[in-house]
Amino acid sequence: MEGTAGVSVRSSPAVPDNKLSTSTLAFDQHFTTSPQGMLLLVEIVCGVLVWILVGGTDYFHVSALGWVMFVAILYWVLTICLFIIYLSGAHNRIANVPWTTLSLCFNSSATVLYLTAAVVDASSVSQAIKGRHNYNCWAASAFFAFLTTLCYAGSSYLSYQAWRMKAEEK
């Protein structure tokens, strides 16, 4: 005798719609090949080089390099977060956040603060003995700090264009 199995169905209470998707996040394959995605990747790589090169030395003897470390690590972490948000497409699912304005403010502030950090880093090179480990690392980190500043300036320009286009649509 073949028995039929009883299937019980339980329904959960309705979940309020907050314009948030409950599905898994998707991967935007084309983001990393876009100008914005490539700049974010270069910012991440150059940013990590800045703080690794400074952090691997006796930077604590030069108090100004603490500022360089603060800026480099802060914007490296925030840039990774922003990269993940854009890569996963979460910015399309969270409509309450003005992403173009946020991106413009983030990139502009990163440009200004990284420029100050790069100048501080470059001026601190003279406090090390030429040819020594600290000198070489600080000189390389100053180069990468200026390169990172240029990348953030490029991202600021792209963010400004996106912000202006969004403002014209309204």
How confident is residue 22, by pLDDT bands cut at 50, 70 and 90? low
Phi, psi of 146 (to 5 degrees): -70, -35
**What pLDDT is attached to residue 23?**
54
SS3 of 25-56: the string is CCCCCCHHHCHHHHHHHHHHHHHHHHHHHHHC
Q: If you average pLDDT over every residue of the chain, what do you get?
A: 87
The 10s digit of each residue's pLDDT in 110-167 is: 999 999 999 999 999 988 888 778 889 999 999 999 999 999 999 999 999 999 998 8
Asked whether the predicted pLDDT for residue 19 surpasses 80, the reply is no
**What pLDDT is attached to residue 24?**
60
Asked whether the predicted pLDDT for residue 43 surpasses 80, the reply is yes
**What pLDDT is attached to residue 167?**
85
Amino acid (one-letter) located at 97: V
pTM, rounded to two decimals = 0.81
Q: Are 47 and 148 in contact (CB under 8 A)?
A: yes
Asked whether the predicted pLDDT for residue 58 surpasses 90, the reply is no
Q: Which residue has the higher pLDDT, 58 or 153?
A: 153
